[in-house]
Amino acid sequence: MSAPIRRRSALRRWAAYVALAGAAAALTASIAAALQVRRVVVEGAAGAVLDQVQEVLAAAVGSPTLGVRAEELRAAVLQQVAWVEDAAVSVSLDGVVHCTVTLRQPAAVLADGTRPLLIDGTGRILGEPLPGVPLPTLQLVAFGAYPEERAALLAALPAIEAAWGGPVRSVERLGPRDVAISFVGTSLQVVADPSRPADLAAGRAVLAAWERHFPAAVGRLDVRVPGRVAVQAALGEGGA
């Protein structure tokens, strides 16, 4: 084979290699584009919460699907969206992030400012009331700056209600260990240490005895001192 023929054969082989490499690069680019996150689907939330979850997950849009970790997206949603208690997140090869959320249930209204905020059973602030979500009947007053006391009070609430024999309507923080409790069905307040719910049973017994022997209505009971119940009659009347 002459030298010119060999050169032409080499050029043809080189051209074939270049064409093959170009086709491979184009295919790789096409596959890479097809394997990117293109959209986000969220179930279990609506309104402002839906917007918040979508905003968190939108950070993954445009990223290679094989590089997006569902557990990291889930952790981001749980950390950044207070209303979300749990989330199931998956990333499909066709570029869809699918997230199903379970929302926290509001347990009380935090009535500290001009706008009420909802909190869950652990005392975590969820945010403003959501459309269509019924407001809890329990109100906490002056607890906004005390998350640990909020959590402790809500944890003690079942024992408080059991000791008194009825549901709590509102609780106002008076101090680190002092609260004024109002119960459903009565206008009186009970000042107590929420860490000692058993004291409320003694207060209820004293209230029953008072009502049997005295005509004046009770406006306030103070059960903060162990073994002693202070009674203040309503409308400024004398107490024991």
Q: Mind listing the pLDDT tens digit for each residue in 97-144?
A: 999 999 999 999 999 877 889 999 999 999 988 888 888 999 999 999
Is the pLDDT assigned to residue 228 strictly greater than 70? Answer: yes
- Looking at the fold, whether 131 and 76 belong to one and the same domain comes out as no
User: CA of 13: how far to CAs of 1, 59, 63, 87, 142, in Å?
Assistant: 16, 45, 37, 55, 82
From the list 168, 233, 158, 228, the residue with the least C-alpha distance to 199 is: 228
Range with the poorest average pLDDT among 13-17, 134-138, 227-231: 13-17
- Looking at the fold, whether 17 and 113 belong to one and the same domain comes out as no
- Looking at the fold, whether 67 and 115 belong to one and the same domain comes out as no
Is the pLDDT assigned to residue 29 strictly greater than 60? Answer: no
Count the neighbouring beta carbons within 10 Å of the beta carbon of residue 215.
Answer: 7
- Looking at the fold, whether 96 and 138 belong to one and the same domain comes out as no
The better pLDDT of the pair 192, 29 is held by 192
The better pLDDT of the pair 153, 239 is held by 153
Sign of CA dihedral 11, 13, 17, 23: positive
pLDDT at 160: 97
pLDDT category, 28, cuts 50, 70, 90? very low
Cβ 87 vs Cβ 74: under 8 Å: yes
Residues 148-157: what's their mean pLDDT? 96
CA distance 26 to 32: 10
**Domain end residue (candidates: 103, 128, 153):** 103
pLDDT at 15: 52
For residue range 39-94, what is the model confidence (pLDDT) as tens digits? 999 999 999 999 999 999 999 999 999 899 999 999 999 999 999 999 999 999 89
Strands (DSSP E) along 149-208, which ranges?
168-175, 178-183, 189-192
* Exposure on the CB side of residue 213, measured as CA atoms within 13 A: 7
- Looking at the fold, whether 19 and 65 belong to one and the same domain comes out as no
- Looking at the fold, whether 169 and 188 belong to one and the same domain comes out as yes
- Looking at the fold, whether 126 and 219 belong to one and the same domain comes out as yes
Cβ 62 vs Cβ 95: under 8 Å: no
- Looking at the fold, whether 193 and 111 belong to one and the same domain comes out as yes
CATH number of domain containing 206 = 3.40.50.11690
Which residue segment(s) compose the domain that 83 sits in?
Answer: 39-103
For the chain, the domain total comes to 3
Is the pLDDT assigned to residue 23 strictly greater than 70? Answer: no
- Looking at the fold, whether 45 and 28 belong to one and the same domain comes out as no
